[in-house]
Structures are given as structure tokens and as C-alpha cells.
Structure 1
């Protein structure tokens, strides 16, 4: 299960950073079913697998934090193998609950700011933003959404399809480069986040030009996500360079294909960050 999860994270089959953190944390439960001679051997294997899962996507702060929490809570705390296994299972349950609760509360906080009749623009796919929209609609809001297709993996198309299934939402799908044309029609931009490290938002490629354009035309930008994704220290963001085949199936001689997964946006371009812990204003 751990090897399969590592491969799945690398292939971005689970693109939401919160989902990635939960899947990786749960995968560690496999270690409690293996045979070990000593507690020390178990802890070494735990540390090795935590490292492998973190390396599968070093851009996800929530993945890093969840796995570090498990490792630090178990290592050196058990006197025998049975106790180590029980502690590991209990810690996994606690960490998963923390991630899922943080995401849910962030969505609730964001939903409270979404007003009936609003038109918003969103980029890529954020499960937290989607949940916020669903909660706002359940509370009676009718909304219009402009959604980027989010090249090159087109995750925005998934967002638009899910919005289309909600009667109270009118979704519009557009190419990424059209944001400047449609921003003046919007009341706000609402996007998710991979993480915020110090004074920089890291999110799906295309976020920076969208936020810069929104600032130029005076459309406020809201970022939504778990507070665990706001990191002051202990985590160094590493951008992921995706396969060139996502940009062009057949390579062309003389062309260097560039496919970074994330870009960096200064937080002073953002109006507010809504997390489970409240609203951060910049």
C-alpha cells in the first residue's frame, strides 16, 4: 500500500494536498501489520517510509506536517512492539482527523463569506473551495462561477463539471488566458492553496498571473485552506517539474518544454486567507 501510494502521489492521481496528506498518513498503517524483531527496527522502518512518502511530493506542506507529526509522536515513545503499533494507529487516526477537520472548518468559514448572487472566479481544483460553495448553496445562495480549465492537466474541467451538477450554480469554463477578460464580471476570486510559506503563496501554475490581473482590475482575492498549510518554518517548498508530455505529446527538436506544477504569488497581492483558524488579512 505504501509503494502504491507513493506512485499515486507522484502521478498526481490525488491532486488535492489535503487528500494527499490523508492518503499518505493512512498508508503508514501498513507498517503495523509487518513483523519486526525490535521496537528500534519498527521505528527505523517508520522513519524510512515517512521519508519516502514526503519525497513523493516535496511541495505539499500538509503532507510534510502530517507525516512529521506521526513520526515525532511515535519515535522513542513506546517500550515494546505492541505499544508502538497501538500508538502508531492512534496517531494516524488523530492526524487524519486533524487534517479533515481543518479542511471542513476552513470551508465553513469561507462559505459564510459567500453572498447570494455573487459571481466568483476560481482556478484549478480545490476540494475546500468546492465544499465552501456547496455549503453556501445549501444556505440558499445562487452563484455564478467562472472556472479556468487549468492547463496542462485540466483539473479545472473537473471543478466545472461538479459545479454543473449544482442547480443553484451557473458555471462558465474558460481557457486560462481568458481570465483578464472575465475578471471585470466577477465580484471576487476564490482559490485554494498548496501552502503559504512565510510571505509567499504557492499554488497551481497560473495562480500568480490571475492574482496579479485581479489586483489590476480591483477584484478582491480570497485564498481558502487549512491552517496547517500556513507554515512559518521547518518546511522548504520544492516546486515539482511535471512531464513535458503534458504540454506536448511529441517532443520537437530545438524546443525546451517547461512544465512547473506551481508558481509563487506574494501574499501582499492577496486580500484575505481563510483557514479553520480564522481570517488572515494581508
Structure 2
């Protein structure tokens, strides 16, 4: 389970950073079926596997925090292997539940800022953004949502399909380069969060031009996500994906760069909403 989860995270087959953190936490349950002679042996194995999972995506603050939380909650606490396994199971359940709860509370806080008749622009794929919109629509708001295609992985298409299934949500999809066209009709940009650290907001590639264009057109930008994605003393590492996502056939003397994330100064974001509240 752990090896498969690491491979899935590295391949970015799970598109939500919160879902990645939950999946990694749940994967540690594999240790419950292993045999250990001593508590020290169990703790060394836990530290090793939590570290492997944490390093599988060094850009995900929620993943980093989840693995650290598990380690801090267990290392040095149990007096027997049986106690260690019981504590691990309890910790896995708590950490996973905390992540889901925080995400839900952040979405609820964001939904309160969405008004009936609003036109929003969203980028890429964020389960917290989708839940925010779903909550607002369920509460009776009629919304128009523009979705950028989010090249090269076109995850905006997945977002559009989910939004299309929500009542009272009118969905429009545009290519990334048409964001300026769409933003002229928008009341707000609503984005997810990969990580906020050191005064920089990190999110999927394409976020920075969306933010810059929105500011030029005086459209407020809101970022929503769990508070676990805001982290101090964290070295964010961008990921560069396969060039074939950009161009299927290689071209001689052309180096194709395919970064996964954009870095945006946090001061360019008008509002940050987490489970802890709202920061303007």
C-alpha cells in the first residue's frame, strides 16, 4: 500500500493536495500488519515510511504536516508493540479526519463570501473550491462559473464536469489564454491552495497570470484551503513533469519545460480563507 501510494503521488494521479495527505496517512496502516519485536523497531519503520511518503511530493504542505503529525503523536509514546499499533490506528483516523474537517470548514467559510448572482473564475482542479461553490449553490445562490482549461494536463475539464452536475451553476469553459476575456465578466477569482510559505502563495501552474490579469482588471482574488497548507520553515520544491504533456513529438534544439506550480507573492491575493477564518 505504501509503495503504491508513493508511486501514485509522484505521478500526480491524485489531483487534490488534501486527498494526497489523507491517502498517504491511510497508507501507513500497512504497518499494522507487519511484525515487530520491539517498539524501537516499529518506530524506526514508521519514521522511515513517513519520510518516504513525505518526500514523494516535496511541494505539498498538507502532506508534510500530516506525516509530521503522525510521527510526533507516536514516537516515544508507546511502551509495547501492541500499544504502538493501537496508537498508530487512532492517529491515522484522527489525522485523516482533521484534514477532511479542515477542508470542509474552509469551504464553508468560502461559501459565505459567495453571493447570489456572482460570476466566478476558477483555475485547474481543487476539491475545496468545488465544495465552496457546491455549498453556496445548495444554499440557494445562482452562479456563473468560468473554468480555465488548465493546460497541459487540462484538469479544468474535470472541474467543469463536476460543476456541470451542480444545480444553479452555469458553467463556461475557456482556454487559458482567454482568461482576460472571461475575467471582464467576473466578480471574483476563486483558487485553491497548494502551499503558503515565506510570503509566497504556491498553486498549480497558470495561477500567476490569472492573478496578475485579475488585479489589472480589478477583480478580487480569493484563495481557499485548509490551514495546514500554511506552513513556516518549509522549502517548497517545484516539480517538472514530462515534456510529452506539452509536445508529443520532440523537436530538435527545443528544450521543453513543464513546471507544475506557480509562485505568486501573497500580497497579490486579496483574501485567504482557511478553516481558521478569513484574512484580507
TM superposition score normalised by structure 1 = 0.98
Q: Which residue of 1 aligns with 2:232?
A: 232
Distance apart, 1:23 and its partner CA: 0.1
Q: Which residue of 2 aligns with 1:182?
A: 182
Moved over 3 A (4+): none
TM superposition score normalised by structure 2 = 0.98
Q: Determine the C-alpha separation between the residues in 1 that align with 2:37 and 2:259.
A: 44
1:267 pairs with 2:266: yes
Q: Which residue of 2 aligns with 1:209?
A: 209
Q: Determine the C-alpha separation between the residues in 2 that align with 1:72 and 1:277.
A: 22
SS state of the match for residue 265, structure 1? strand
Distance apart, 1:73 and its partner CA: 1.0
Q: Determine the C-alpha separation between the residues in 1 that align with 2:76 and 2:165.
A: 49
Distance apart, 1:232 and its partner CA: 2.0
- Give deviations 1:196-222, integer Å, cap 9, x for gaps: 102110000000011011001100000
Please say if residues 137 and 167 of structure 2, whose CA atoms lie closer than 8 Å, have aligned partners that are also in contact: no
Counterpart mapping for 1:75-94 below 5 A? 75-94=75-94
SS state of the match for residue 184, structure 2? helix
Q: Give the gaps of 5 or more residues in structure 2.
A: none
Q: Which residue of 1 aligns with 2:95?
A: 95
SS state of the match for residue 218, structure 1? coil
Q: Determine the C-alpha separation between the residues in 1 that align with 2:256 and 2:177.
A: 19
1:254 pairs with 2:253: yes
Q: What is the root-mean-square deviation of aligned Cα atoms in Å?
A: 0.8
Q: Determine the C-alpha separation between the residues in 1 that align with 2:146 and 2:60.
A: 26
Q: Determine the C-alpha separation between the residues in 2 that align with 1:152 and 1:96.
A: 30
Q: Determine the C-alpha separation between the residues in 2 that align with 1:206 and 1:18.
A: 20
- Give deviations 1:3-28, integer Å, cap 9, x for gaps: 01001111111110000000000000
- Give deviations 1:111-143, integer Å, cap 9, x for gaps: 011100000001001100101111111110010
The alignment covers a number of residue pairs equal to 280
- Give deviations 1:66-112, integer Å, cap 9, x for gaps: 00100111111111100110111111111111100000000000001
Q: Give the gaps of 5 or more residues in structure 1.
A: none
Distance apart, 1:158 and its partner CA: 0.4
Please say if residues 174 and 182 of structure 2, whose CA atoms lie closer than 8 Å, have aligned partners that are also in contact: no
Q: Determine the C-alpha separation between the residues in 1 that align with 2:166 and 2:108.
A: 18
1:170 pairs with 2:159: no
- Give deviations 1:173-207, integer Å, cap 9, x for gaps: 11111101111110010010101102110000000
Q: Determine the C-alpha separation between the residues in 1 that align with 2:210 and 2:168.
A: 25
